[in-house]
């Protein structure tokens, strides 16, 4: 029996295992693609972890099996996949590998700064290394909007909502990375942010610690529960109101751990100050619930490898990484974990002085089983990572 498209979806051959997987996803793919969202991509890679490019590359499915799947299905998968997923898909043969290579070469990123009522320093760059950056207005207008699936907006201050809103409208298919440098946000900025959260358009958020309060903190919590969201980065945490931001987020995780699986929280602290004592005590003991307080444990080598395999943990780099610690509570299906790693390099190890010039050393090593096994170094860290699982 040959698999084919019908008006109702994908007609499957019950004797073929790949048909059983694809047919169950086809209706979701069709409906969600009509919404122009990334929810289908999330349904494939988050809700059905057995269906992903890495596992397809090592599965029993043959090239012939995968080529029997409608090309439009693979086009949708490649068109909404992350860059690192396309790199995995490129290793596959047949239609999926070819489409992944094409999608990777066409994938573009838009980067811009917004200060007040002005947008500046815009550029579009491609993942393909043989393509030059696009910086002029005419060239950027010529880039197909469907190719721009990642947009980074840096807000230097509270700014005018209309400027950022115009960027969002310009790239309707994109997922957005917002960097909010200002310690204070006006009503326009909060309204824009609220619309992006409701529209499930945010993938990464970088925000000043002092801005993490009130309505903004509630919006951050909502974003952390969305399928397409990946990472929250909070800078200048010593400026956060009453030092309660981390505690609030950990309490929220304790109540919503299932929704926050796979999400990352990056905490950045100023030099010479490190993690505040109130937070340090909490992190050392991971007392995120009133009933339980357990010390952090060092992850085994095998567990570290699994974290990287399933959650791409090695994408975050340090100069001198710690090992990976974990907090764990619950049993069976109720079990939940936080994996914690942090920068162990001192200030003088992060900056080199040469001929009256300071050079910042670029992070190049990921946290792993071989990292520093000294929990006391957390008290002087400038960057701490949490992965919720």
Q: Using 50, 70 and 90 to split pLDDT, how confident is the model at 174?
A: confident
Pairing of strands 108-115, 148-155: parallel
Asked if residue 287 has pLDDT above 60, the reply is no
Number of CB atoms found within 10 A of residue 247's CB: 15
Residues 33 and 346: their CA atoms lie apart, in Å, by 48
Task: Name the pTM for this structure.
Answer: 0.70
Q: Where are the domains of the chain?
A: 48-106, 108-235
Helix (H) or strand (E) holding 55: helix 53-57
Q: Using 50, 70 and 90 to split pLDDT, how confident is the model at 293?
A: very low
Instruction: Decide which of 301 and 80 is more confident.
Output: 301
DSSP 343: B
Tens of pLDDT along 101-153?
888 888 889 999 887 778 888 999 888 777 888 888 888 888 888 888 889 98
Tens of pLDDT along 356-373?
666 677 778 899 999 999
User: Which DSSP string corresponds to 333-387?
Assistant: GG-EEEEEEEB---HHHHEEEETTEEEEPPP-EE--TTSB--GGGGGG-SEEEEE
How many Cα neighbours within 13 Å face the side chain of 16? 18
Instruction: Decide which of 320 and 117 is more confident.
Output: 320
Least confident of 9-13, 34-38, 314-318: 34-38
Give the pair of three-digit tokens for residue 291: 């009933």
Give the pair of three-digit tokens for residue 90: 């490129």
What share of the chain has pLDDT > 70, as a percent? 71
Q: What pLDDT score was predicted for residue 354?
A: 60
Do 266 and 313 form a contact (C-beta atoms < 8 A)? no
pLDDT mean across residues, the chain = 75
Tens of pLDDT along 42-80?
333 333 333 455 555 545 456 676 677 788 877 777 877
Q: What pLDDT score was predicted for residue 22?
A: 43
């Amino acid at each position: 029996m040959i698999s084919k498209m019908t008006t109702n979806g994908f007609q499957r051959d019950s004797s073929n295992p790949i048909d059983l997987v694809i047919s169950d996803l086809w209706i979701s793919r069709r409906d969600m693609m009509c919404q122009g969202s990334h929810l289908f991509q999330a349904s494939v890679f988050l809700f059905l972890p057995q269906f992903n490019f890495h596992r397809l590359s090592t599965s029993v499915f043959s090239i012939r099996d995968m080529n029997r799947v409608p090309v439009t299905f693979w086009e949708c998968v490649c068109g909404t996949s992350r860059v690192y997923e396309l790199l995995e898909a490129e290793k596959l043969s047949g239609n999926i590998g070819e489409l992944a290579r094409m999608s990777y070469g066409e994938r573009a990123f838009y980067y811009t700064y917004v200060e007040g009522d002005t947008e500046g320093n815009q550029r579009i760059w491609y993942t393909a290394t043989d393509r030059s950056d696009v910086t002029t207005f005419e060239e950027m207008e010529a880039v197909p909007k469907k190719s721009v699936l990642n947009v980074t907006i840096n807000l230097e201050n509270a700014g005018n909502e209309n400027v950022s809103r115009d960027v969002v409208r310009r790239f309707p298919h994109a997922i957005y990375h917002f960097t909010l440098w200002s310690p204070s946000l006006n009503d326009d900025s909060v309204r824009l942010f609220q619309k992006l959260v409701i529209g499930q358009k945010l993938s990464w958020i970088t925000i000043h610690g002092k801005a993490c309060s009130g309505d903004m903190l509630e919006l951050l919590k909502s974003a952390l529960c969305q399928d397409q969201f990946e990472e929250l980065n909070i800078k200048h945490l010593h400026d956060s109101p009453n030092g309660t931001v981390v505690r609030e987020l950990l309490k929220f995780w304790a109540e919503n751990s299932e929704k926050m699986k796979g999400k990352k929280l990056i905490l950045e602290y100023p030099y010479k100050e490190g993690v505040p004592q109130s937070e340090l005590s909490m992190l050392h003991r991971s007392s995120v619930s009133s009933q339980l307080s357990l010390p952090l444990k060092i992850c085994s080598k095998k567990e570290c490898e699994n974290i990287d395999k399933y959650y791409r943990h090695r994408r975050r780099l340090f100069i001198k990484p710690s090992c990976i610690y974990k907090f764990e509570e619950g049993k069976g299906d109720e079990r939940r974990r936080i994996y914690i790693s942090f920068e162990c390099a001192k200030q003088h190890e992060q900056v080199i002085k040469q001929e009256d010039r300071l050079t910042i050393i670029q992070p190049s090593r990921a946290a792993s089983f071989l990292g520093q096994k000294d929990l006391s170094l957390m008290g002087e860290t400038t960057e701490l990572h949490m992965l919720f699982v």
